[in-house]
Amino acid sequence: MLASLKKFAVGALLLVSAASAYSAPKTVLVVGDSLSAEYGLARGSGWVALMEQKLKAEKIDAKVVNASISGETTSGGRTRLPALLSQYHPQVVVIELGANDGLRGLPVAAAEDNLRSMVVMAKRDHAKVLLVGMRMPPNYGRAYTERFSGMYKQVSSDTKSALVPFMLEGVADKPALFQQDQLHPLATAHPTILNNIWPKFAALIKSE
């Protein structure tokens, strides 16, 4: 009788543990630059905050950690990522970096290597990865702009990661949607940015 009770208690504990693990919220880590850090915007109006609201509206149990920093480069993201992965162990990592590398005219090969390393690190931590791509203005020259936009496709292909080719699709060609610096979108543009990102992101978070 005592042995049976012990087996029942152990079984009950396992069921409780499994239920707890199943109900634990998923963690989404966003590593980006000012485009994700709400530069010049009221708190809660950027696309990352809008994504968190949409997750709640769709009853997807997930918490979003926005580790974006204005001015961040792919090199900075690569340096910071190991500690972020160790701290949060996210199920999904969204990497939105590269714009500052491009604006500074930094070598595309170096940025591509940094992005690839970040994807590999995240996947080693058992996270799914979404790359969010950018494009450079045409005044940077055709050769540079093509290499720049191409690096996201290359990293995505090499690492078998999901890709949003251009986060500012439907925004970049509308000057009225930008702040005075003509670099950072207004809050009114961020729902469009989220719409560009959401389909690929939703496929990853819902598959967890």
pLDDT digit string (tens) for 101-130?
A: 999 999 999 999 999 999 999 999 999 999
Whether 126 is a known active-site residue: answer no
Ranges of each domain in the chain: 24-206
* 81's tokens: 């990522």
- Say what the pLDDT of residue 182 is: 93
- Say what the pLDDT of residue 8 is: 47
Which is the catalytic residue, given 45, 70, 113, 184?
184
51-67 pLDDT tens trace: 999 999 999 999 999 99
Which is the catalytic residue, given 4, 20, 173, 181?
181
Whether 190 is a known active-site residue: answer no
Which is the catalytic residue, given 34, 149, 156, 161?
34
94: helix, coil or strand? strand
Interhelix angle for 74-88 vs 108-124, to 10°?
10
64, 52 Cβ separation under 8 angstroms: yes
Is the pLDDT reported for residue 1 higher than 80?
Answer: no
pTM: 0.89
158-197 pLDDT tens trace: 999 999 999 999 999 999 999 999 999 999 999 999 999 9
Whether 184 is a known active-site residue: answer yes
Q: Which fold is adopted by the domain 24-206?
A: Rossmann fold (3.40.50)
